[in-house]
Structure 1
Amino acid sequence: MKTVLLIILSFVAHTFLLAGLKFLMVGWFTVTTKLMENVLVNVPDGADRAIFWGRILGFTSHPMLWIFILAVNYGNS
């Protein structure tokens, strides 16, 4: 009986944590997208600033993109 309860509790916890993670991911991308839109609309050099902040946000939030970002920056320098 304990094993069945532990399996059910583990499944519920896993589902809850996964839902929370998805919520945070969607919220993060929504906030950063709105930030990029505001930067592009309100500033004369908005495209340059959006690229700059996009690289920073991408670098901090997606470690798998670090090599790609560094390679692109190295190729453009």
Structure 2
Amino acid sequence: MKVIFLILLSFMTKGVLLAGLNFLMVGWFTVTTKLMENVLANAPDGADRAIFWGRILGFVSHPMLWIFILAVNYGNS
């Protein structure tokens, strides 16, 4: 009985943690998308600024992509 309870508890904990992670990811991308919209709408050089901030936010939020970002920037330099 105790084992069944622990298995159910682990599944419930996993579900809560995944729901929280999903909430944080959706919130992060919503905030950054709104930031990009505001930058594009309110600045004469909005596209350049959006690209600049998009690279920074992507670099900070996606550590697994750092190697690709660095490789692209190295290739363009």
Match of 1:3 in 2: 3
Match of 1:24 in 2: 24
Residue correspondences, number: 77
**1:27-66 matched pairs, under 5 angstroms:** 27-66=27-66
Supply the distance in 2 between the matched residues of 1:76 and 1:44 (Cα, whole angstroms): 25
Moved runs in structure 1, 4+ residues, more than 3 A? none
What RMSD, in angstroms, separates the aligned Cα atoms of the two structures? 0.8
1:12-71 C-alpha deviation (Å, 9 max, x unpaired): 010000011011101101110110010011001111111110000000000111111112
Q: Which amino acid aligns with 2:11?
A: F
TM-score, normalised on structure 1? 0.94
Supply the distance in 1 between the matched residues of 2:11 and 2:67 (Cα, whole angstroms): 36
Unaligned runs of 5+ in 2: none
Unaligned runs of 5+ in 1: none
TM-score, normalised on structure 2? 0.94
